[in-house]
Amino acid sequence: MKFSCWNVNGIRAVAGKGFGDWFSSTHADVISLQEVKAFQDQVDPKVVNVDGYRCFWNAAKKPGYSGTATWTRIEPLDYRTGLGIPVCDEEGRTQIFEFKDYFYLNCYFPNSQPERARMKEKLAYCSEIKKFCESMALKKGVIVAGDYNVAHTPLDIKNAKSNEDSPGFTQEERDWMTSFLVGGTDQNSVMRDVFRERNPGAAGLYTWWSYRAGARGKNVGWRIDYQTVSAGLLDRVIDVDHERQVMGSDHCPIYLRLKN
């Protein structure tokens, strides 16, 4: 089983930058996108309707903003959107799929914004994700894929010192991420950041780069995109990695492979 995940920063923009070639070459069973920034009927049907996949679209009410979309080869047992946080649900941030052995969440976490303008919404969203994972992991596996808008540790950001209070690297957000992961500050936590566990101490492995000042060419980036898995799925993980060579967005795709 392969799961591919990508914040495309606008599906209509990336569609003209090799998105179709990437989609067909990933051979993923589930492909989840964040920040699609479009209603489904605004997108070329050839992008939406792909042979062998069923597409689920969750647009924001606000045009040209946020939104998630997922293509799956496997018919879900259940599908729903939202976490019960109206301000976030209206932004199309969450898709929840139930499959036979696991739940799969496609998530676009809110950005906390300068001066913590949306920190309340961000932490509320994070709290609900954590509750969901801890509850549902008692039933079956859980995968949370997407743009978390959090660089967890100094290894996950190029210039940690100068970004100590920047959105996505505030202490509040990093503390939540620590509490979310097994081995952190909460004994109830069930989720594993397998990529970091398999690349301990490795810096420079980023998933987002600013469009400014040639940041991507210089690899001045942040690791803010993750596919975390519940502890019960850990033994099934084959590999998890970033596709840093794939262009078209300010993020790169990431993938996770599990044993069937």
C-alpha span between 24 and 258 (Å, rounded): 19
Q: Is residue 147 annotated as part of the catalytic site, yes or no? A: yes
Where do the DSSP E strands lie in 149-199? Answer: 191-192
C-alpha span between 105 and 142 (Å, rounded): 8
Catalytic residue among 102, 108, 206, 255: 108
Give the torsion sign (CA, 109, 255, 259, 232): negative
- Tally helices (H) and strands (E) across the chain: 8, 14
Structure tokens given for 74: 């496997």
Catalytic residue among 29, 53, 125, 147: 147
| Element holding 147 (H helix, E strand) | strand 141-147
Cβ neighbours around 160 below 10 Å, total: 16
| Alpha-carbon distances of 58 from 94, 180, 260, rounded to whole Å | 8, 25, 28
Q: Is residue 108 annotated as part of the catalytic site, yes or no? A: yes
Active-site positions?
Answer: 108, 147
